[in-house]
Amino acid sequence: MNRPARALSFALTLALAALAALAVVAAPRGARAQDAADAAPDPFLWLEDVQGERALAWVREHNETSQGELEARPEFAQIEADTLAVLEAEDRIVVGTRRGDWMYDFWRDAEHPRGLYRRASVTSYLAGKPVWDVLLDVDALAAKEGESWVWKGMSLLRPEFRRGLARLSRGGSDAVVVREFDVEERAFVEDGFALPEAKGSLSWIDADTVYVATDFGPGSLTTSGYPRIVKRWRRGTPLDAAVTIFEGAADCVSVGANRDDYGGDGTLDWLRNGTSFYTSQRFVLEGTERTFVDIPDTARVHTYFAGLLFFELKEGWDVGGERYRAGTVLTIALQDLKAGRREFAVFFEPTATVSLQSIERTKSFLLVRVMDNVRDRLLRYRRDGAAWTRAEIPFPGHGTIRTSSVDADRDTFFASYSSFLHPTTLYHIDGDTLAKTVVQQAPERFDPAPYESRQRFATSADGMRVPYFVVMRRDAARDGANRTLLYAYGGFRISMRPRYLGALGRNWLDRGGVYVLANIRGGGEFGPSWHAAALRENRHKAFEDFEAVAQDLVATKITSPRYLGIRGGSNGGLLMGAAFTRRPELYGAVVCQVPLLDMRRYSKLLAGASWMAEYGDPDVPADWAFLRTYSPYQNVVKDKAYPRVLFTTSTRDDRVHPGHARKMAALLESLGHPVLYYENTEGGHAGAADSKQRAHATALVYTYLLNELRATKE
């Protein structure tokens, strides 16, 4: 179909959709109008056909229009170049992963956009002069095989670390191809372990045996699209000869098995049956026997140390005559638990402002990272008989601490620290003395001197104090005219932590912008209760928190609605959709990325069914009653003035269906609301498969924001 014909076909589609939408808008208000809207056929269902010719023609048309407008802006090329320079800088910090005497790393640069899997000796790495040995060139592999490979990681077999299981994705999708790799030979193993493309797992038991959970054929996947069967597979035998060790129900989320090495505590083989996104049955495998781990199915198992199992409660628990609240970490000897004993000890208790983020073990200690009023702290716990002694490893101010190369083989490890205005510093730390040695210091990508970051609090609709960070020029006027970008996520117990702004500093702060990070409910900043407060029928609390931050920014004259832009992706994309359909007058620009938007159909699209514990089941009338109140796709109307939204997604996103963004953009257009839309053909849920794609997408976003939030619009 030529372009004029495509345009005419699309115009007819919009006209028909507009008539259908007008009929819904004209229906009587209240329940009858909602019933009519819900019963009406979806005029844009065809856009859910990911690779359909008609849908892709629509995508090409919109990409051409949106890119044509934004790329023509004078700032676009500079933003793209500056972003790419940051992403591909040769002096980037390298946070390697230690395996034996080697540090492993995956590196991308201008010459290798798909990347190099490489290693250097620990000695050269610690000296600050690593000599890198390339093990696999993904660009060369992609060219040789004619595939758009995106690297998804390598799992090396302990203790020699010679054999690995390499994961490769076509275009960045979650589904991966797995192949066995020989590190010393720098080649894939002929007739080695290999899996075709699927969402699943392949994990080492020993050199000749693996656990495998994959698409074994009809009936082997859950309704969420993940494996429901896990098998034990021996080298040299066909996959269909692998021995089934567990089958989950079709309506569970996924199953899997793996072996963990706990050093002097030995190994444990774990079987997990993920009955929902937040609930799992756990078993310890010993040969053909499996023993049920009788702890709450919402609990999170952190580690195994000194014969003790450490697990965190996500909900309150009454057991053995005691009441333990959510966020508490309990311990028990694994042998006692297997024998049916119920005598637990408290290892960690949360407070109103302190919550647990992670527990990792070294050879002799436990490393515990907590968040204290959205500030990371790293603690070392030493066991002395039945007691624990605690020492803090100091880092400055509000920032993010990340640990790496923490394992049961040694008591040394790496930790990095960064904040909004200070780039990452990587330390090598002695767990015994707590001495820190700087391994690398990333250079500044913008001058931090003119800026300051402050934590503030807004009051939500129900009186809850909601923290947020503001990064802006020290001398910025409080006149309500600062172009401001507000970012939040608010779901799945994911914490939003201060991080170095890097490219954002160049693209936004140095152009006079203000950056705001909101820690709204639904995240994990204050433990399980902060997350649970916005689950299911309480989702509106996350939206109210976000609105409270926006209103506080206006009330304090940091900005005003005309100059306030908002941005979020995935669950944050749902947040954006709810934000601009609920309170469009609060925002001047909206960046809605890889979003969920049609909550009527989300559970039927790709991995959507796995998230019903977070949002609810739209096929249950009581759940749809609250989902209907905010589902962005069902709450668009003709007679509201919406900001012009920029939607971005990826054709290769096999986690959140691109149909959400496609349909929302088409619906808005059909009702006369202008939008911008960009869909990358690669990138998966990340939206970009390499640095050039990421720089291009970033330039589209900031060019859009700078122009939408101008004092006057053309």
Judging by beta carbons within 10 Å of its beta carbon (0-12, 13-18, 19+), is residue 472 exposed, middle or buried? buried
Closest CA to 254 of 234, 281, 236: 281
Closest CA to 461 of 531, 546, 536, 404: 546
Taking the alpha carbons at both ends of the chain, their separation in whole angstroms is: 33
Distances (CA, A) of 573 to 381, 488, 641: 39, 9, 20
Closest CA to 190 of 147, 144, 236, 137: 236
**Which are the contacts of 135, defined by CB distance < 8 A and separation ≥ 6?**
117, 118, 119, 181, 183, 186
What gap in Å lies between CA 64 and CA 79, rounded to an integer? Answer: 19
**Which are the contacts of 679, defined by CB distance < 8 A and separation ≥ 6?**
59, 62, 63, 648, 649, 650, 651, 658, 661, 662
Task: Indicate the pairing of strand 209-213 with strand 201-206.
Answer: antiparallel
Dihedral sign for Cα 59, 61, 67, 73, please. Answer: negative
Q: Residue 354's beta-bridge partner residues? A: 372
Judging by beta carbons within 10 Å of its beta carbon (0-12, 13-18, 19+), is residue 116 exposed, middle or buried? buried
Dihedral sign for Cα 503, 547, 467, 536, please. Answer: negative
Is there a catalytic annotation at residue 62? no
Given the residues 62, 660, 685, 696, select the one marked as catalytic: 685
Given the residues 570, 603, 610, 670, select the one marked as catalytic: 570
The answer to whether 48 touches 651, Cβ cutoff 8 Å, is: no
Is there a catalytic annotation at residue 570? yes
SS3 (DSSP) at 587? coil
Structure token pair of residue 380: 């070392």
The answer to whether 352 touches 527, Cβ cutoff 8 Å, is: no
List, by residue number, the catalytic residues. Answer: 570, 685
